[in-house]
A and B are shown apart, each in its own frame.
Chain A
């Protein structure tokens, strides 16, 4: 365990000094500032007011940005480090491969989740100062959802980094994965549904496999418990899971996907050339 935390700490220190981290932090911090600047915390639209409205908008934006940021930065830095000879040197030191790989994941998770989470907390504190009411349930639920989403895409990113032998290939693959999942949110899913006359259950199943859609539906559920916005597929989801069941699924499923991808990545990493 000592080596695992040491690697995690090393990765955190490396990342904190990287340019991508600065941009990443500025994007999420900037989002909150922009949302406040445009008065979203004071808006009264569709029944959602104050801080709840702001958190809701923030989480929807995070869904679009977080996966691609996590994927690209992970594959870029991990595959880039391998290309640049960082792996060759650090893995010549007597550190277990398991501690190296998982330490890197845990360190990276801390680095990608913290700015997103701190922006969320910052928004809440600012709202509190402004005299708003803190929606604790939303805050805790959204934090947990963001954590699950970040972990999921981190696992996918580590798997891609292990499979791809160059950072260019890794970045391309990461972008394709993100784009595919993004398109399956609505565009392709609806198209296939209409063209192929797919049963609603199949379409819902595809949606339930896509971690981005799972996240999206879960965020809707808190302000729209009947999932009216989702249309008829809401019946399948609610009949199958129930509200509490779906919320649990939305928290556990992305973590499971992340763990499976990272584990496959680790298995391949152990068996392949390291640098």
Chain B
């Protein structure tokens, strides 16, 4: 579906992409990882037809710059940093829905599923929304249409655990008919969402590997955490995951999204000395 052939991108004398060759097929969910300055954002911008480059980039045999409308109508994009748009939320949805030739209600539905009450924010400037609200709205714009390629740059970074679970469920609905490129500078943030990892370093692909696709994206895990004693800092953190305390806040129970397990264990690892026991089990949902 997507082909990069010998793609080179230079900014004056600085060569940011050094001959990238990469094929991505439908159904591939690619984690594009690498440190800052590795070339991830530049690669994505070449794919979106926003940068000029040497070499060849095609999506379904079409070059994105020369066939903007045909190519970009298939692409849903969520940037890492939300743009500081002053236009009201309603205007942004109308604008995006019109140019993408879709029904704005589809975008509103996705936003509602993610827990964003669009009705309240329709007249509010986009830039005035919180980080999480902006992220939800941009995800809604990307998923509320018939996209065949999703390009997501740190998409879940600002989402609360419940919204992350719903977001993973929405991605699961698209996983067979769409390709996904999920960019992150940390592999553990996205590894459970993908079936392929591409790592970039200094403008080159240094790793291209398939990973076990065993985690069901829409799954949930029941979790019980026991502590050796009550700890306020831990309580504050775990409440943000929607957990409920009992036994004098020494036992905590809740649910986490399947693809979030590594992230969740990463959070727990910060309190390793406090942990008495951990139980994780599939809910079968």
Contacts and interface: CB of A to CB of B under 8 A. Distances in A.
Interface string A76-117: 000000001111111111111100000000000000000000
B271 interface: no
A129 to B, nearest CB: 35
Contact of A92 (B48, B52, B125): B48
Interface string A1-43: 0110010001001100110000000000000000000000000
A201 B86 CA distance: 50
Given A6-B99, A94-B69, A17 B125 contact: yes
A61 interface: no
A110 to B, nearest CB: 15
Given A13-B88, A272-B52, A273-B50, A93 B83 contact: no
Interface residues of B, number: 31
A21 to B, nearest CB: 10
Contact of B68 (A13, A17, A96): A96
B59 to A, nearest CB: 12
Contacts of A17: 86-87, 125
A111 B79 CA distance: 29
A197 interface: no
Given A17-B86, A94-B69, A85 B125 contact: no
A86 B72 contact: no
Interface residues on A, range: 20 to 34
A3 B99 CA distance: 7
Contacts of B87: 10, 13-14, 17
A271 interface: yes
B240 to A, nearest CB: 28
Interface string A234-275: 000000000000000000000000000000000000011111
B139 to A, nearest CB: 13
Nearest to B48: A92
B73 to A, nearest CB: 4
Contacts of B69: 94-96
A90 B87 CA distance: 12
Interface stretch (B90-98, B167-175, B221-229): B90-98
A68 B260 CA distance: 53
Contact of B50 (A2, A94, A95, A274): A274
Contacts of A14: 85-87
Nearest to A271: B52
B186 interface: no
Nearest to B153: A88
A93 B72 contact: yes
A88 B12 CA distance: 20
A198 to B, nearest CB: 41
Contacts of A271: 52
Given A10-B87, A13-B87, A274-B50, A92 B95 contact: no
Interface string A201-235: 00000000000000000000000000000000000
B200 to A, nearest CB: 19
A95 B72 CA distance: 8
6 tightest Cβ-Cβ pairs between the two chains A and B: A94-B72, A92-B77, A17-B86, A94-B73, A89-B83, A86-B83
Given A84-B83, A272-B52, 4 more contacts: A89-B79, A89-B82, A93-B99, A275-B50
Interface of A: 2-3, 6, 10, 13-14, 17-18, 84-97, 271-275
25 contacts: A3-B99, A6-B95, A6-B99, A10-B91, A14-B86, A17-B87, A17-B125, A85-B79, A86-B83, A88-B45, A90-B83, A90-B85, A91-B50, A92-B48, A92-B72, A93-B72, A93-B99, A94-B71, A94-B73, A96-B69, A97-B68, A271-B52, A272-B52, A273-B52, A275-B45
